[in-house]
Amino acid sequence: MSDATGPPQAGDHHPDTSTGAIAGTVQNAAGAPVEGAVVMFAAPSPAHRDIAAVTAATGSFGLGNLAPGSYTVAVNAAGYRTGQATVQVDGGREATVVITMERDDGG
């Protein structure tokens, strides 16, 4: 597992047109950032399976150098239900996503 050093700036173009990037934010239902959440990326390409990042204090995460395709982004954090989103990555572009986590009340 690698620690995210921070996502590229939203709207930036990825310099390599054969790969893309995902930048996102994990927040709770009130819109506050969720720090330390584990973000797992699953892709159709075996070369990009089991990739993970950890959210920063701002709830942000990012991953670059991804082959184009559809990625499932799953987020786990203590006290929250698993959050999930599907993100389309295109070559030379950065896809952005916001995942809102719901509190796990144990029931």
The model scores a pTM over 0.85: no
Count of C-beta atoms within a 10 Å radius of residue 57: 8
Task: Report in angstroms the alpha-carbon separations of 94 from 16, 36, 82.
Answer: 11, 22, 24
In a domain, 27, yes or no: yes
Of residues 6 and 32, which shows the higher confidence score? 32
Average pLDDT, the chain: 85
In a domain, 61, yes or no: yes
pLDDT for 76-97, tens place per residue?
999 999 999 999 999 999 999 9
In a domain, 69, yes or no: yes
In a domain, 49, yes or no: yes
In which domain, by residue range, is 36 found? 20-101
CATH number at residue 53: 2.60.40.1120
pLDDT for 64-80, tens place per residue?
988 899 999 999 999 99
Our count of domains for the chain comes to 1
